Amino acid sequence: MPQEKLFQEFPPISTAEWEEIIRSELKGADYEKKLIWKTREGFNVKPYYRSEDLDGLTFYRSLPGEFPFVRGNSPEYKGWKIRQNIWVDNPSEANARATALLSGGVDSLCFCFSKDAITRFLNRESFSLLLRNLPLTTIELHFAVQDRTRDALTLLKEFALDNHIDHREIHGTFDFNVLGNLTLTGKFFESEAGDWSRLIMAVQKAEKHFPGVKTIEIDGSIFRNAGSLIVQELAFSLSMACEYLSVLTSKGVSAGEVLRNLHFTFSTGPVYFLEIAKLRAARMLWALISREWDKPSGSGERMYLHSRSLLWNKTIYDPYVNMLRNTTEAMAAVIGGCDSLTILPFDACYRTPDDFSERMARNVQLILKEEASFGKVADPAAGSWFIENLTSLLAESALELFKATEARGGYLACLKSGFIQDQIAEAAGQYTSALSARKEVLVGTNQYPDAGEQVLNTISEEIAFPRPRSNHSAVRPLPSYRAAEEFEKMRLATEKSGSLPVVFLLSTGDLAMRLARANFSANFFAAAGFRIVNNAAFDNVRDGIDAALKASASIIVLCSSDEEYARLAPGAQEYLASLTPDPANRPLLVVAGAPPCMDDLRAKGITRFIHVRSNLLETLIQFQSELGII
């Protein structure tokens, strides 16, 4: 039976024809404003892509394991490693925790040492307790010991020899990051010369005894957790890596040795498709850059890439939304091709995580790997005209900023001059300003908040709002904070006041407008933690005012239509003043909307309005001030 080629019945449609149809459907609306995505990264994204948009792109033709490694480091995809953090407060307990995690699906362990733990437990006896009976050659290990990396490597080698383990078969990473520490604290661990000396000894130790271990971490998440753009995270991470190459090769370490010891950590954040493209672009750029440093090999270095969920966008109010954020971030990291992934527990931003939150974080990855089969396909984004173009756009923009950083003397010079800090501060400021104006959304914080939620007794303010680092240093530290912090501090001030202001929604008049404005006002004031009293409509404002006073309202919001405000608002003000002669005891009267009669109402003493152009944060803080909360 002959096979019919059905698609022959559908002639190809050109881009010009599609564009003509789209513009006719817009009915005169601005194409750019309606359909072009103007990203914060500085480039525009079209509403659709076609095969012709791949013209000029060469990387998409490569296969997994082929230069420039956009599609992954290996032709045989084995999935990603599920990593979970274990804080070493007691070596035996940390060992038991590690054993339990391995039986629960984790295959990459991160042992995190505080400064106190390094002093107490970085010794042979404690290390033996920590690593006892762990299958070191079949899992991945990561040690967070910073400048004590060489000491930890020595202990790891001694443990391997004592237990007849081939240390050459151990795979993992250490977090020695001289430049990252300088970026975050403004200081070296010990001294500039001392830090570089310790790092060189760590690299030499790993090169001699641990071919499967990488010692130098390039942590791009420090930029994103300060509010950077994705492009900035990419560019400054690559610049940091080149600074390591420059410094260490000048001190006698070969480029090949440095390249073998470098590993990268990138955040994975909320902008789903850009996060996918970021990891693909990172591998490509690093292959191109590293090839210039290691010309004898000519192939470029494969980037070992660990992803970690972002803290910048996590919130202490409506915290279970963080689980949803973690899910999309994990998906983006896996589709983007991370080698290993840490999903931080949903409550990590405001308290020490408990067993439940850690299990939920782990289960996000297990579901993606075991139920959704994300671990069975190499680079599932390949061939998507949209993602391939995003990869190219991100790579081009990041490379441009990378070159600008190098032209200013490289990473260290730009850190000392403040160029890096200023670039990130500008990006962070723009985003937080957009949050304040609700042009950007954090669900549960500046949009759709849970008005009845209180968190004061469930959070650690030391964890939620860490103190700024001291600026008594030659380098200005890069701050780490979360985008929601100012909103959260405002709302916590309401909780701490001991008495929640009552916002009474006085709905009257036009049905559609009063409902819309009542919903808007409820969302608006709930962001400050005020108690919202919603109502059925009132036949007149007097009945509404009487009910508001009976409810002990602190704020009365008049919700109606623009056409009716000219009559209703003055009447409400006069009646309210007649019942409460003392202004100090009078509820604040607020009009929901920006009616054409606003100037006339202001002239009559009605000065409080909330509307879509109001700066949410500033307006709510002003109300808190008027109510004596702050």
Look at residue 354 and tell me whether its pLDDT is greater than 90.
yes
Split at pLDDT 50, 70, 90, the class of 499 is: confident
Instruction: Write down how long the chain is.
Output: 630
| Pairwise CA distance, residues 362 & 96, whole Å | 17
Q: What's the pLDDT at 298? A: 55
pLDDT digits (tens, 9 = 90+) for 413-439: 999 999 999 999 999 999 999 999 999
Split at pLDDT 50, 70, 90, the class of 30 is: very high
Look at residue 299 and tell me whether its pLDDT is greater than 60.
no
pLDDT digits (tens, 9 = 90+) for 356-401: 999 999 999 999 999 999 999 899 999 999 999 999 999 999 999 9
Q: What's the pLDDT at 407? A: 99
| Pairwise CA distance, residues 99 & 95, whole Å | 6
Q: What's the pLDDT at 169? A: 98
DSSP for 399-443, please give it: HHHHHHHHHTT-HHHHHHHTHHHHHHHHHHHHHHHHHHTTSS--B
| Pairwise CA distance, residues 83 & 79, whole Å | 13
Look at residue 1 and tell me whether its pLDDT is greater than 60.
no
pLDDT digits (tens, 9 = 90+) for 461-495: 999 999 877 666 779 999 999 999 999 999 999 99
Topology given in CATH for the domain delimited by 497-626: Rossmann fold (3.40.50)
| Contact (CB, 8 A) for 552 and 585 | no
* The residue to which tokens 């704020």 are assigned: 555
Tell me what the pLDDT averaged over the chain comes to: 96
N-terminal to C-terminal alpha carbon distance within the chain: 82
Residue 431 neighbours by CB under 8 Å, 6+ apart: 40, 227, 440, 483
| Contact (CB, 8 A) for 323 and 364 | yes
* % pLDDT > 70, the chain: 97
Q: What's the pLDDT at 492? A: 98
Split at pLDDT 50, 70, 90, the class of 12 is: confident
| Structure tokens given for 532 | 């919202």
Look at residue 292 and tell me whether its pLDDT is greater than 80.
yes
| Contact (CB, 8 A) for 387 and 381 | yes
| Contact (CB, 8 A) for 142 and 173 | yes
Split at pLDDT 50, 70, 90, the class of 5 is: low
Report, as an integer, the average pLDDT of 100-129.
97
Q: What's the pLDDT at 7? A: 64
Which has the minimum average pLDDT: 121-130, 298-307, 369-378, 563-572?
A: 298-307
pLDDT digits (tens, 9 = 90+) for 594-625: 999 999 999 999 999 999 999 999 999 999 99
Q: What's the pLDDT at 301? A: 84
pLDDT digits (tens, 9 = 90+) for 515-537: 999 999 999 999 999 999 998 89
User: Within a 10 A sphere around the Cβ of 384, how many other Cβ atoms?
Assistant: 17
pLDDT digits (tens, 9 = 90+) for 246-272: 999 999 999 999 999 999 999 999 999
| Pairwise CA distance, residues 541 & 109, whole Å | 64
Domain ranges (residues) in the chain: 497-626
Look at residue 6 and tell me whether its pLDDT is greater than 70.
no
Split at pLDDT 50, 70, 90, the class of 2 is: low
488-491: long-range contacts, CB 8 A cutoff, minimum separation 24? 488/315, 488/316, 488/317, 488/445, 488/464, 489/465, 490/528, 490/617, 490/620, 490/621, 490/624, 491/317, 491/527, 491/528, 491/529
* % pLDDT > 90, the chain: 93
Report, as an integer, the average pLDDT of 193-221.
98
Q: What are the beta bridge partners of residue 86? A: 111
Q: What's the pLDDT at 470? A: 65
533 — phi, psi (to 5°)?
Answer: -115, 105
Look at residue 539 and tell me whether its pLDDT is greater than 80.
yes
Split at pLDDT 50, 70, 90, the class of 77 is: confident
Stretch (H or E) spanning 267: strand 262-268
Rounded to 10°, the helix 419-436/230-250 angle is 160
In 3-state terms the chain splits into helix, strand, coil percentages (rounded to 5) of: 50, 10, 35
| Pairwise CA distance, residues 235 & 403, whole Å | 8
| Pairwise CA distance, residues 281 & 269, whole Å | 15
